Amino acid sequence: MIHHHPDDGLLLAQAAGTLSSGHSLLVASHVEACGECRARLRELESIGGAMLEQLAPAVLPAQALARTLAAIDAPPQPPKAEPPLRRASRPPLPDGMAWPRALRGCSATAWRWLGPGMRWSRVTVPYDAAANVFLLRIGAGRELPVHTHSRSELTQVLHGAFHDGRALFGPGDFDETDGDIRHQPKVLAAGECICLASVEGRVLFESALARMLGSLVGM
């Protein structure tokens, strides 16, 4: 059962298409696994469509119709050769765990060492090279260093569970943190935890060693 969801502000921004690529990917990963948020997102999209229909008609430029008709009458352009599709490379996952469909087309590096019992993988978003998205794989009983955030971080739990002093986050749960949150996520002793994260700004670790390791990840 999913207990933690994106708030209406995030879902509304997702419906309006105003979220950054990384944050949109995180919200989409949650929505595909959460029937409650899928229904809420459809509702917000419907409300947005109704609001658009109530807007006053816009006046088009004088030559808009002529340009449109000219484009329709223009001879078709020869199709461009499409490069062959490559299977996105991704690190192995635990048995029974599947990649979110929202990551279709995204590649991810092999698991890289971050600290004892901790690994990470950089996720490449093909349509936005600036998106700061990564996977964290933290061993049972391990904890991340104490930190806060300069701007915003979204986290979607894909496997396992952690507690950060505020709440327990299990499979399918979603978390949003910013500079008002100071926490230390700790994975439960029952097994490892894998999360997908999108960071805008920086993760502000309190210890110098954690800051150094975080800079390697882009956190």
Q: What is the pLDDT of residue 101?
A: 94
Q: What is the pLDDT of residue 35?
A: 96
Q: How many Å apart are CA 78 and CA 149, to the nearest integer?
A: 49
Q: Could you give the domains of the chain?
A: 8-53 (1.10.10.1320), 104-217 (2.60.120.10)
Q: How many Å apart are CA 137 and CA 114, to the nearest integer?
A: 9
Q: What is the pLDDT of residue 83?
A: 46
The tokens for 113 are: 């060492």
Q: What is the pLDDT of residue 96?
A: 85
Q: What is the pLDDT of residue 88?
A: 64
Q: What is the pLDDT of residue 214?
A: 75
- The partner residues of 154 in beta bridges, in order of sequence, read 176, 198
The mean pLDDT values, 10 residues at a time, for the chain of 219 residues are: 95 93 97 96 81 66 80 74 58 90 94 92 94 96 93 96 96 96 96 96 87 75
Q: What is the pLDDT of residue 85?
A: 42
